[in-house]
Amino acid sequence: MRAEVLCIGTELLIGQVVNTNATYLAKELAAIGVDLLWVTTVGDNPARMDAAIATALDRADLVLVTGGLGPTADDLTVEAVARVLGEPMAERPEVRAHIEGWFRERNRPLAPSNYKQTLFPTSAELIPNPTGTAYGLRVRKGHSQLMAFPGVPMELRAMWTSWARPQIERESGSTLRSVLLRYVGIGEALLAERVAHLLEGSNPTVAPYAGDWEVHLRVSAKAATAAEADALMAPVLAELRAIQPYYYGSDDVTLAAAVGQLLRARGETVATAESCTSGLLASRFTDVPKSSDYMRGGVVAYATDVKQDLLGLSEDVLAHGVVSEPVASALAQAARRVLKSDWGVGITGWAGSAPTPEDSGLVWIAVAGPAGAAAVAELQRFGGAIPRETVKYRATQTALALLRRQLMT
């Protein structure tokens, strides 16, 4: 099946909005095994919309249109589809009832222009919109079918997931299932070598992707039913999840959430003492719901005397240089002691330019644990060419990975 995504909206042509809908649908189509061959964007212009719709219906078997379903004068998609099909528009009573009910429930006044959203080409099948007023539509022409969705990403996604994707899968008689596996602390090339024997498989397929200071493997399988596809994937997933200490979670699990889960299971707590990352690690911990179960807090010791006064680092330790293994270890120990936690993480480094160029982007990360033993420390040289925010993020990623390894031993 050859697909085209057609995005409609002048806001996309002036760079005001990033076209996340196109990327979303591209990923989704890949996930169900449909070949996307064209992505086209045109503005809210009837002639160019008509031409783009006609071209897409001609060359593709599946056309997904986004945008232009709203109530205002520049929402022209439904009319364009009707024109290209040569069909009149007619009011759909069920849509009228839905829209009137939607406004009534919210005690909001209904504008005359809202009734525009009740008109559809006569042959169109309606796509329900669980989160808004604009219905989508499906029409067929020759070998091709076209589905139109609102441009609001939340509405598009809800309608795609609940209606369109299942329809396409049902009609194609096969289901593609896929899982994203997340790894940290190992490079893409090294991980790919280690799983080379799986990368050549055709069902399931395994494909590596570089994430932000982590690596992902996408495992996908196609079968008549979801259960059969899952069964095909099961042994491969088991093998790939056993790659430790690197594999940390699947799909939407973040590294901070995976570490939090380990802390919760152990009934232990964590605290941070950060210099160059300056609170970013503490903040990542609390992006996870219920992180107050194990996150105590932290100290951001940006100035050197804060490291002494608030965290009790001695002159002797600081004499090694503020960016050094002893200082990182002392910060980790101090976080434990001062914030009364089981685990402490210390980070010190040069997020931007350092006194000497070769030290720019150099970061020491240390973890101290409940055993009271010496802290475990790791050095990262991110280099001076990458932005401060990126050095900071990658340092927190390394810190979470280091803590995770200690929690697993």
> Which residues are near a second copy by CB under 8 A?
12-16, 18-20, 22-30, 36-43, 45, 48, 209, 272, 274, 276-283, 285-287, 289, 291-292, 295-303, 305-306, 309-310, 338-340, 351-353, 388-389, 392
Q: Which long-range contacts (CB under 8 A, 24 or more apart) does 232-238 make?
A: 232/203, 232/204, 233/177, 233/179, 233/204, 236/198, 236/201, 236/204, 236/206, 237/179, 237/181
Residue number, 27 or 266, with CB nearest to a second copy? 27
Residue number, 69 or 273, with CB nearest to a second copy? 273
Residues 6+ apart with CB under 8 A from 162: 128, 130
Query: Is residue 377 within 8 Å of residue 329, measured between CB atoms?
Result: yes
One-letter amino acid for residue 26 of the chain: A
One-letter amino acid for residue 335 of the chain: A
Structure-block tokens of residue 363? 């970061």
Residue number, 54 or 89, with CB nearest to a second copy? 54
Least Å distance between CB 184 and a second copy? 20
Residue number, 345 or 368, with CB nearest to a second copy? 345
Least Å distance between CB 44 and a second copy? 11
- Give the 3-state secondary structure of residue 390: helix
Least Å distance between CB 174 and a second copy? 18
Residue number, 211 or 245, with CB nearest to a second copy? 211
Least Å distance between CB 37 and a second copy? 6
Query: Is residue 379 within 8 Å of residue 361, measured between CB atoms?
Result: no
Residue number, 51 or 186, with CB nearest to a second copy? 51
Cα 130 to chain centroid, rounded: 23
Instruction: Of 259, 255, 256, 276, give the one whose Cα is nearest residue 347.
Output: 276
Least Å distance between CB 89 and a second copy? 26
Residue 379: CB atoms within 10 Å: 14
Cα 191 to chain centroid, rounded: 21
Strand partners, 260: none
Least Å distance between CB 366 and a second copy? 18
Residue number, 28 or 214, with CB nearest to a second copy? 28
Instruction: Of 297, 302, 278, 303, give the one whose Cα is nearest residue 393.
Output: 278
Q: What is the dihedral of CA 289, 291, 293, 296, to 10 degrees?
A: -150
Least Å distance between CB 284 and a second copy? 9
- Block residue for tokens 């783009």: 52
Element housing 121 (H / E):
strand 119-121
Instruction: Of 346, 340, 405, give the one whose Cα is nearest residue 375.
Output: 346
Least Å distance between CB 186 and a second copy? 20
Residue number, 11 or 228, with CB nearest to a second copy? 11
Residue number, 18 or 73, with CB nearest to a second copy? 18
Least Å distance between CB 335 and a second copy? 10
